[in-house]
Structure 1
């Protein structure tokens, strides 16, 4: 079965019922009661080849008006959508305004920040040469003000995503069809949940969201890719995208929740006695090995720390037969650009740093990301201390609501990190393959729900309601 590429349509998945087509190729609703997209049309038609270096300038325009306004011309806002090949083409102030409006100040997500994504590009970590071609989508009004942005990449592989679709690619190839390139809407190398369609908070926000989703789907057709994947979106986005033709997928991570704990011992008192005893025994092993734990933040993290941590990072990837996605320059750039939002936990033996764990601080969450240690050494329980227990202590001190400790790891449950559901959305261009994957995802979702419940029911806390 070959993937049949749909003809390019400026209205793919966008036209709503009772639309009539004008002589100029624009679509209007006969009668409108709510705020919505009024019209959607394309610029000059171009022949598009599916090349990884392809980038489009302004490619779509729309007319919208806010709910409660009439369709009179003075209430209409014109929106143009374009693709940029680097986030550096967008001002940090406007990008971050979209990000902050999308999350709200309390749920600020540092991975959606302009500086974080710029560090990935400037350090050559997420660029064409590594199979990540930035193709960020920008929506502007008629005054060139940015109304919304979408972090988007054209991918030539499926690495660094944490939502695995390698079997989907194999199935495509088995039928003689091409799975790559594909579009990936995400934060590269970062399995952190957060909004992906970042829209300014104004009376037009729902309509701008719809325009950006339609642009994503139409761009997939114009690029002749197999699919468009939106990974780790917010739950709200996940539900909204289902109605726009996206397949839904769920996964599982392990997060720690702060229940107004005063300190680490206060947290331990919520645990079952056996779990509490095990954690205390593990923590006692750290000073017994002459190790000292330190939490460094912002200006306390020097260039030598980043050089050392990069060695740890490479040791971890090499030992796990993984790929070192991030360059040395990325860590230096991250420290320079993100400042006090970076928390580096290090373990010292004497004057030597022997291990470290990288964290980012959000509005209400501490995000644990990377861990590493010196090669050819082993310190019992140090991984648990650096990645989990130090993170919990830091979250309590900073009055944060939770710790997200990254993907995988059932061992986290016995240390107070409980299973939570994660989400992804997948737009498959070929309708036949979309139906096949839909059946698979229905079965997979049922299995994920069952496993999640089993883990939750066997949690480490004394009171089941605490879980």
Structure 2
């Protein structure tokens, strides 16, 4: 078996990469990850250096792969290890560079070890961990894994499991938005109606588009909105303008954009991706202040769209206790961490044991805040 490092997805065909994917989830497709690279959103001085790993047999057949990046910082990951890095700095241990398997800038769960067989996935992982020290890497981190990967990691010594919590909305076979509202407690139902009425009262309507239905001038507007969400916090956006055009050209069927208009003029947008059973809310932006427009554009419009499309789940992104009262349910997420330094590994293991109990308690408490009517 041979493990190969790819500094660019351009060095492997989309067919060879995509045939290892377990589903049509858009974030793992060659088109998505390659667009990040070719647009300059990752690579160069971004601190995300592509270093994808491939496992091939003696005949050169591709058996397993991992979307991976050499990281010189911890930004854009959404599994926060800043305190681990700071502890290493105080102890004189180098934490960076590290190797990260993740979808850049997207806290979305899914496959991270791409393989048809668990045995091949295990061989790739074992080969990677054995070579970390020789490559000067402090560890390998794998964020937002699926059940297949969890089984592979859980069967191996040295890997540390970390739990997190997100909020996803689940379609219980609702016929329309009103049907969903009818499942809520009266007070919560009235609150949502009031929020939607406040937006409508400002003369705002919504226009849904597929990726291939936006002209370049409209993509300019989408990007201006996206970039403004960072500018108001004094930050630079992760994604470049070219990324949106590349993605629209390569996988338009997976893109949905909703434009919020006032008097025919676009004032805000939300960008979504979708697969066979899930809508993913990714980016949002607004060029002026409107009361409750964020909730309507990002949550209620997406929720309504998921019902229209017959999708089973709506993942509106990271963070958000404010999602609870809007029907989004707490969901456990998992990441896995292999740390080379034995002292660091022991300290992090102890930290994760304590954190895990807190996450379980938080999820249980969050469930009590859901707005659904009691049976």
Contact 2:26–2:273 (CA<8 Å) still a contact in 1? yes
* Residue equivalent to 2:327: 416
1:126 paired to 2:24: no
Match of 1:89 in 2: 11
C-alpha distance in structure 2 between counterparts of 1:94 and 1:279, whole Å: 46
1:98 to 7, 15, 20: 20
Is 1:183 the counterpart of 2:99 in the alignment? yes
- Which one of 235, 240, 248 corresponds to residue 327 of structure 1? 240
The residue number in structure 2 matching 1:11 is none
Name 1:401's counterpart in structure 2: 312
Q: Distance in 2 between matches of 1:440 and 1:321?
A: 32
Q: Which residue of 1 aligns with 2:32?
A: 116
CA RMSD of superposed structures (Å): 1.3
| 1:250 counterpart (159, 163, 166) | 163
Structure 2 CA distance, aligned partners of 1:378 and 1:323?
A: 21
Is it true that 1:272 corresponds to 2:185 in the alignment?
yes
Q: Report the equivalent of 1:387.
A: 298
Q: Does 1:285 align with 2:201?
A: no
How many residue pairs end up in the alignment? 374
Could you tell me how far apart the structure 1 residues matched to 2:93 and 2:253 are?
Answer: 47
Deviation at 1:222, TM superposition (A): 2.3
What do residues 133-182 of structure 1 show as CA deviations (whole Å, max 9, x unaligned)? 11111122344332221100000000000000011100000011211100
Correspondence for 2:266 = 353
* Equivalent position of 1:33 in the other structure: none
Q: CA deviation at 1:239?
A: 4.1
Q: How much has 1:437 moved relative to structure 2?
A: 0.5
Other structure's SS at 2:93 match: coil
Cα offset, 1:129, TM superposition: 1.7
Residue 356 of structure 2 corresponds to 445
TM-score (norm 1): 0.78
Is the 8 Å Cα contact of residues 227 and 237 (structure 2) preserved in structure 1?
Answer: yes
Secondary structure, in 3 states, of the residue corresponding to 1:229? strand
Contact (CA 8 Å) 2:121, 2:152: kept in 1 or not? no
Other structure's SS at 2:40 match? coil
SS in 2 for 1:129: coil
Post-superposition CA distance 1:274-307 (Å, at most 9, x none): 1111111111122211111111113212211211
Aligned partners of 1:279 and 1:423: how far apart in 2?
A: 31
1:152 paired residue among 65, 68, 89: 68
Structure 1 residue 243 displacement after superposition: 3.0
Name the residue aligned to 2:253: 340
Considering only CA atoms, is the larger Rg found in Structure 1 or Structure 2? Answer: 1
Aligned to 1:427: 338
Cα deviations across residues 172-221 of structure 1 (Å, max 9, x unaligned)? 00011211100000000000000100113xxxx12211111112212322
2:366 corresponds in structure 1 to 455
Q: Distance in 2 between matches of 1:330 and 1:161?
A: 18
Task: State the structure with bigger RCO (CA 8 A, min sep 6), 1 or 2.
Answer: 2
Q: Does 1:297 align with 2:210?
A: yes
Question: Larger deviation: 142-151 or 265-274?
Answer: 142-151
Shift in alpha-carbon separation, 1:271–1:343, aligned structure 2, 3 A:
same
Corresponding residue of 1:213: 125
Deviation at 1:120, TM superposition (A): 0.3
Q: Deviations over 1:218-252 (max 9, x none)?
A: 23222121111000011342243133221110111
Tell me if the contact between 2:273 and 2:279 (Cα under 8 Å) persists in the aligned partners: yes
The equivalences for 1:165-176 within 5 A come to 165-176=81-92
Stretches of structure 1 that go unaligned for 5 or more consecutive residues are: 1-60, 62-79
* Alpha-carbon distance between aligned partners in 2 of 1:89 and 1:301, rounded to the nearest angstrom: 30
Q: 1:192 is matched with which residue: 88, 108, 111?
A: 108
Q: Are the aligned partners of 2:211 and 2:252 in contact in 1 as well (CA < 8 Å)?
A: yes
1:182–1:228 Cα contact (<8 Å) kept:
yes
The match for 1:50 is: none
- Give ranges in structure 2 of 5+ residues lacking alignment: none
Deviations 1:419-438 (A, max 9, x none): 11111100000111101110
Check the 8 A contact 1:115/1:337 in 2, yes or no. Answer: yes
- Greater Cα offset, 256-265 or 240-249: 240-249
Aligned equivalents of 1:88, 1:186: Cα separation in 2: 18
Distance in 1 between the 2:49 and 2:148 partners? 27
* Residues in 2 aligned to 1:306 and 1:336: alpha-carbon distance in whole angstroms: 12
TM norm structure 2: 0.97
Cα pair 1:194 1:234 within 8 Å, conserved = yes
Give, in whole Å, the separation in 2 of the partners of 1:463 and 1:177.
Answer: 52
